[in-house]
Amino acid sequence: MPATILILNGPNLNLLGRREPTVYGHETLDEIAAACRARGEALGYAIDFRQSNHEGELIEWIQTAHTDVRGIIINAAGYTHTSVALADALRAVGRPVIEVHLSNVFARESFRHTSYISPIAAGVIAGLGGQGYGLALEAMSRLLNASPDPGAQSTTP
């Protein structure tokens, strides 16, 4: 079974495509998920792509990340700017994290300039729409290749 990259999406991202398209674009979350699965497969990873409108559910998914989850890409949406608990869960599981936003949060209201996730993220991609997820996958794959799974069995004698 290939190693997995978990891609988590927070509240209201299920509405992509019809939610403020001038801000978030016309691509649906299903379309982004399909593109991520294809890109993940090409990079040699299984993609576990999820969305929830509930903070606790996102936290439980992070806490129960299987040992085969090597990295986490997260667009926490509104929880980015409010959730200490989500950031704590990410910190607790100790997997590399890349933060993604469709919109350029730094060009928007000042409350969107604060992220509880950025301090623990290896990197942040914002403002590039759905393609930000693909770029995050490329970056995660390089990150994981640079620091192989410490739990992996060496095949060399």
Give the active site residues: 24, 101
Q: Which residues pair with 72 in a beta bridge?
A: 6, 97
| Cβ proximity to ligand DQA, 8 vs 89, nearer residue | 8
| Cβ proximity to ligand DQA, 105 vs 136, nearer residue | 105
Reported as type and span, the H/E element at residue 99 is strand 97-101
Name the token pair of 32.
């982004």
In angstroms, the Cα distances linking 117 to 3, 25, 142, 148 are 23, 23, 20, 23
Reported as type and span, the H/E element at residue 61 is helix 55-63
Shortest reach from residue 155's CB to ligand DQA, in Å: 40
Shortest reach from residue 30's CB to ligand DQA, in Å: 16
Residues that bind ligand DQA (CB under 6 A): 12, 75, 77-78, 80, 101-103, 105, 112
Instruction: Count the alpha carbons within 13 Å of 137 in the hemisphere toward its beta carbon.
Output: 28
Shortest reach from residue 39's CB to ligand DQA, in Å: 18
| CA angle centred on 123, ends 15 and 126, rounded to 5° | 40
3-state secondary structure of 41: helix
| Cβ proximity to ligand DQA, 69 vs 100, nearer residue | 100
| Cβ proximity to ligand DQA, 57 vs 68, nearer residue | 57
Shortest reach from residue 102's CB to ligand DQA, in Å: 4
